[in-house]
Amino acid sequence: MSRESRNLPPSPKELVTALHDVNSGRRYISSLIQKRLGTEMPAFLRRPKKLSGELTSRQREVLQLVAEGRVRKEIAQILGVSVKTVEFHKQKLTEKLGIHTDAALTAYAIRHGIASAE
């Protein structure tokens, strides 16, 4: 019977591997989760397609405001643009990054220094 089937915590070796991966900026997925997922990685676990340096200054502004929890109308007022323009920039962000939720955009912004976690 394997460790996973007995619901035991990960082995010390797996914990060390996880710590090294995370410390190096990589994601770590346990062997149990990998087996359950098979070969297809869910979109929310995949790395974004592009780095923050490839965003336009307006996309970075919109991303920062999204990460601050602002809604489209607020973002439009702050930037002095229409709500449609905000939606356009947000759509381009999601296409470039491959990220489709505000929570994931916020995590990306924090991870790349565009917004702070405070």
Q: Is the pLDDT of residue 49 over 70?
A: no
| Per-residue confidence (pLDDT) for residue 90, from 0 to 100 | 93
Mean pLDDT, the chain, whole residue set: 78
In terms of DSSP H, where are the helices of the chain?
A: 12-23, 31-37, 57-67, 72-79, 83-97, 102-111
**Do 72 and 90 contact (CB within 8 A), yes or no?**
yes
Distance (Å) of CA 80 to CA 7, 21, 69, 77, 114: 54, 42, 18, 5, 20
Instruction: Please tell me the distance from the alpha carbon of residue 118 to that of residue 115, in angstroms, as a whole number.
Output: 9
27's tokens: 């994601």
Instruction: Please tell me the distance from the alpha carbon of residue 18 to that of residue 44, in angstroms, as a whole number.
Output: 18
* pTM score: 0.57
- pLDDT tens per residue across span 6-38: 666 777 888 787 777 666 666 667 776 666 666
> What average pLDDT does the segment 38-55 reach?
57
- Say which residues have a Cβ less than 8 Å from residue 116's Cβ, sequence separation at least 6: 110
Q: CATH assignment of 52-111?
A: 1.10.10.10
Q: Is the pLDDT of residue 52 over 90?
A: no
> What average pLDDT does the segment 63-87 reach?
94
CATH 1.10.10.10 domain span(s) along the chain: 52-111
Q: Quote the DSSP letter at residue 48.
A: P
| Per-residue confidence (pLDDT) for residue 50, from 0 to 100 | 47
